[in-house]
C-alpha cells in the first residue's frame, strides 16, 4: 500500500507549482518534500514528476493524482458514517471557463458550498482546453465544451451559453457602417480573452470570414466587457453577462441575428463520493 503522505506531497507540489511552495503548505522543508517525492518514485519504480521545461506530472504521476483526489473525497464520506474519524475538509480543485465563473457558477454551487463547508480551488481555463487539466490529473472535475469523457470519468451535458459579437454603437458606426463584411472585419479590432480563446475565430469562420484581424488580449471576463464599453473593440460576450448593457443600448451586436452557441459539459471522476454527486446535482439543477 502506498503511503498517503507521499501522495499528499505529490499533489501539493503539482498544485503549488514547486517544491518550496509545497513545503510551506505542508509545513515541511523543501528537502523533506523532495525526499518524499523520491521515496514515492522508488516505491513505484518510475518518475512521477518532470522538472523541465515546466514542472508537471508524468503519466504515472497523473494516475496517482487522480487516485488521491478520489480517495480524499471518499474519506470524507467515510467520516460521515464513522464519527470517531476526523472529517477532512472537502476541497475540490476544478477547472472551468472564466465566463461561467463570472455569471452563473457561484449561484449554482453557493448553497452547497455553505452547507457542506466545501472549499474550492478554481482553475480558470478556456472551455476548449479545461479537459486537459483533468486528463493530467491536476483537477478533480472540469467544465468545458468537450463531450468526450476522460477514461474513468463521467460527462454530463449542462446547457448552452449564447455569445454575441458586441460593441458600442459608436464603434459599430465607425467600423461597420458599410455592413458586416470582409473589409470591415479585417479593419475592426477585436477583443480576445487569451491565446487559447478561439470563440472569435469560430464565430468569424461560421460567418464565412477566414482572414486575419487585429485584437486586444484581455484575460478577464469583467475587463472584457469594460474594454468593449470603452469602444476599444468588439468581443464575443455571453448574452447573460451583458443583458443590462444590451437593454440600455450601451452594447449592440455588430451582426444582428448572429450568435455563437457553446455547449458546456461537466466532467468528473467516477466513484468520487457523495460531495461530487451533490455538486453534480446542483449544477444540473442550475442548468435546468
**pLDDT tens readout for residues 105-128:** 999 999 998 988 888 889 898 876
3-state secondary structure labels for all residues of the chain: CCCHHHHHHHHHHHHHCCHHHHHHHHCCCHHHHHHHHHHHHHHHCCCCEECCCCCEECHHHHHHHHHHHHHHHHHHHHHHHCCCCCCCCCEEEEEECHHHHHCCHHHHHHHHHHHHCCEEEEEECCCCCHHHHHHCCCCCEEEECCCCCCCCEEEEEEEEEEEEEEECHHHHHHHHCCCCCHHHHHHCCEEECCCCCCHHHHHHHHCCCCCCCCEEECCCHHHHHHHHHCCCCEEEEECCCCHHHHHCCCCEECCCCCCEEEEEEEEEECCCCHHHHHHHHHHHHHHC
For residue 271, the model assigns a pLDDT of 74
Q: Domain of 244?
A: 161-262
Residue 275 inside a domain? The answer is no
Residue 286 inside a domain? The answer is no
Choose the weakest-confidence range: 138-142, 152-156, 232-236.
138-142
Please report, for the domain that includes residue 215, its CATH number: 3.40.190.10
Residue 110 inside a domain? The answer is no
Higher pLDDT, 58 or 227: 227
For residue 88, the model assigns a pLDDT of 53
Higher pLDDT, 169 or 77: 169
pLDDT at 135 over 90: no
pLDDT at 236 over 80: yes
How many domains is the chain partitioned into structurally? Answer: 1
pLDDT at 253 over 90: yes
| Averaged pLDDT for residues 64-91 | 67
| Averaged pLDDT for residues 222-231 | 96
Residue 192 inside a domain? The answer is yes
pLDDT at 86 over 70: no
Residue 181 inside a domain? The answer is yes
For residue 172, the model assigns a pLDDT of 97
Residue 170 inside a domain? The answer is yes
| Averaged pLDDT for residues 63-67 | 81
Where does the pLDDT of residue 25 fall: very low under 50, low under 70, confident under 90, or very high at 90 and above? confident
pLDDT at 90 over 70: no
Higher pLDDT, 80 or 253: 253
For residue 87, the model assigns a pLDDT of 52
Percent of the chain with pLDDT over 70: 93
What are the tens digits of pLDDT across the range 167-213? 999 999 999 999 999 999 999 999 999 888 889 999 999 999 999 99
Higher pLDDT, 281 or 63: 281
Residue 278 inside a domain? The answer is no
Percent of the chain with pLDDT over 90: 52
pLDDT at 245 over 80: yes
For residue 7, the model assigns a pLDDT of 85
Residue 5 inside a domain? The answer is no
| Averaged pLDDT for residues 43-66 | 86
**Mean pLDDT of the residues in the chain:** 88
Amino acid at each position: 500500500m502506498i503511503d498517503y503522505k507521499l501522495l499528499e506531497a505529490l499533489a501539493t507540489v503539482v498544485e503549488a507549482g514547486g517544491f518550496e511552495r509545497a513545503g510551506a503548505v505542508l509545513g515541511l522543508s523543501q528537502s523533506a518534500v523532495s525526499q518524499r517525492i523520491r521515496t514515492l518514485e522508488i516505491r513505484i519504480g518510475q518518475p512521477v514528476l518532470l522538472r523541465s521545461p515546466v514542472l508537471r506530472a508524468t503519466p504515472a504521476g497523473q494516475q496517482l493524482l487522480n487516485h488521491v483526489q478520489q480517495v480524499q473525497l471518499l474519506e470524507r464520506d467515510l467520516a460521515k458514517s464513522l464519527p470517531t474519524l476526523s472529517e477532512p475538509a472537502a476541497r475540490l480543485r476544478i477547472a472551468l471557463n472564466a465566463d461561467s465563473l463570472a455569471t452563473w457558477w457561484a449561484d449554482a454551487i453557493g448553497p452547497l458550498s455553505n452547507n457542506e463547508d466545501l472549499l474550492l480551488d478554481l482553475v480558470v481555463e478556456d472551455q476548449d482546453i479545461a479537459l486537459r487539466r483533468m486528463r493530467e490529473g491536476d483537477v478533480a472535475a472540469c467544465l468545458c465544451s468537450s463531450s468526450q469523457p476522460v477514461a474513468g470519468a463521467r460527462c454530463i451535458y449542462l446547457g448552452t451559453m449564447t455569445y454575441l459579437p458586441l460593441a458600442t454603437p459608436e464603434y459599430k458606426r465607425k467600423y461597420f457602417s458599410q455592413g458586416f463584411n470582409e473589409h470591415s472585419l479585417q479593419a475592426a479590432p477585436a477583443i480576445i480573452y487569451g491565446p487559447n480563446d478561439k470563440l472569435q475565430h469560430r464565430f468569424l469562420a461560421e460567418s464565412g470570414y477566414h482572414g486575419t484581424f487585429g485584437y486586444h488580449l484581455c484575460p478577464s471576463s469583467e475587463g472584457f466587457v469594460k474594454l468593449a464599453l470603452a469602444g476599444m473593440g468588439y468581443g464575443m460576450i455571453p448574452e447573460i453577462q451583458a443583458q443590462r448593457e444590451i437593454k440600455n443600448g450601451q452594447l449592440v451586436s455588430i451582426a444582428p441575428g448572429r450568435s455563437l452557441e457553446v455547449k458546456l459539459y461537466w466532467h468528473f471522476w467516477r466513484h468520487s463520493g457523495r460531495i461530487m454527486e451533490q455538486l453534480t446535482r446542483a449544477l444540473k439543477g442550475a442548468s435546468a
